[in-house]
Structures are given as C-alpha cells and as structure tokens.
Amino acid sequence: ETGVTQTPRHLVMGMTNKKSLKCEQHLGHNAMYWYKQSAKKPLELMFVYSLEERVENNSVPSRFSPECPNSSHLFLHLHTLQPEDSALYLCASSQTAATGGSGYTFGSGTRLTVV
C-alpha cells in the first residue's frame, strides 16, 4: 500500500467507449498529478493540480479530461481513445508542488489497453 490508490488496476476499452480512472490519497498532500508511462519513454506529465500551480501539458489530446473535486481525489476521464493511448497511467501526490525531500508518492497505476 503506497498511500495513493488507483482504480481500476487494468482496463481494456474500445475506441468508442467512455471510462474514468480514479485516484485517491489520504496522505494529506496538496498536489496531485497524472503521468503517462509508455514503454521505452520517460514518464510524461499530463496534468497537475496544486495550490501553487495548475498545469496542463498542451500536448495532451482533449480526449483526456482531468477532474480534481478536492485535494484527496483525482479523476482522468477518457473518451474516444486511440490504440496509441495504451500505456500505464500513474497518479502521484506530494505535499506541495515544490516538495523536495519527500518526493512524490505514486500509485500502482492503471494499465490501459485500447482495442
């Protein structure tokens, strides 16, 4: 248990489906993130919500839509995805966006396969 819980662990969806990924943290952190991890590529930041900044990676397609209703929950809404969107989606949290010594706490990720 890492303190950051992601559901579901695995998801297979068709290109016309709509699904949502959920992330929850009970660490009292004030910043939460979505990352995409593809084989042979660096972790890619998609979205961040924090008191200091709200960043959206402009290269993320609009078929990915984040929602952060409070500091403990983060969602990633998916619709009309493409096969190249198949990847491991990681949620993370940190005390603040400027955190250093304690780093980020990651969830175990959702393995997404788009068919």
Query: x/- binding map, residues 66-95, to other proteins, per CB under 8 A?
Result: ------------------------x-----
Site string for other proteins, 12-51 (x = CB under 8 A): ---------------------x------xxxxxx--x---
Task: Give the SS3 label for residue 78.
Answer: strand
Q: Are 15 and 113 in contact (CB under 8 A)?
A: no
Binding-site size for other proteins (CB under 8 A) equals 27
Of 18 and 52, CB closest to other proteins:
52
Instruction: Decide whether 3 or 80 has the Cβ nearer to other proteins.
Output: 3
Tokens of 86: 């198949």
**C-alpha distances in angstroms, 110 versus 9, 26, 53, 98?**
4, 19, 25, 26
Sign, Cα dihedral of 9, 29, 104, 79: positive
- Residues in contact with other proteins by CB under 8 A are 2, 4, 33, 40-45, 48, 52-53, 55, 90, 96-98, 100-109
